[in-house]
Amino acid sequence: GAVVSQHPSWVICKSGTSVKIECRSLDFQATTMFWYRQFPKQSLMLMATSNEGSKATYEQGVEKDKFLINHASLTLSTLTVTSAHPEDSSFYICSARPGGSSQETQYFGPGTRLLVL
């Protein structure tokens, strides 16, 4: 149980285009989902917290107009990188937390590698 998927697993796009990444909880409902960014050989940094049916909460320094997050259902959250630039190239990981309790553990998706040319 507790499987989280991401699609696509990798994407290459041209500078200036937008890219959408999907995060799905496959066998549980996730009131809350999280989006992380990981640069090569570095740790994960939380970008934003996504709550179903409400606006995402962004971490300090993360541009909300650049990284659009939509959590339309209890099993799906999307991250759209708008007008992507080479500096947005990174590994994006989502996680999901079962149920509504803050005591629950987060389960991670396999990540999406984005390369902006």
- Minimum CB distance to another protein smaller for 46 or for 76: 46
Q: Looking at beta carbons only, is 19 or 92 nearer to another protein?
A: 92
- CA–CA distances in Å: residue 58 to residues 15, 40, 51: 24, 22, 11
Task: List all residues 6 or more positions away from 2 whose beta carbon is below 8 Å from its beta carbon.
Answer: 27, 28, 98, 107
Structure-block tokens of residue 27: 């066998």
Which one, of 76, 52, 49, 44, lies nearest residue 64 by Cα? 49
x-marked contacts with another protein along 22-41 as a string, rule CB under 8 A? ----------x-x---x---
CB of 91 to another protein, least distance (A): 6
Judged by CB under 8 A, the residue of 93, 96, 114, 116 near another protein is: 93
Q: Answer yes or no whether residue 18 interacts with another protein by CB under 8 A.
A: no
Helix (H, G, I), strand (E, B) or coil at 94: strand
| 101: nearest Cα among 43, 22, 28 | 28
Indicate whether 111 belongs to the interface with another protein (CB under 8 A).
yes
* Binding residues among 62-91 for another protein as defined by CB under 8 A: 91
How many residues of this chain interact with another protein, rule: CB under 8 A? Answer: 24
Interface ranges with another protein (CB under 8 A)? 32, 34, 38, 42-46, 49, 59, 91, 93, 95, 97, 102-103, 105-111, 113
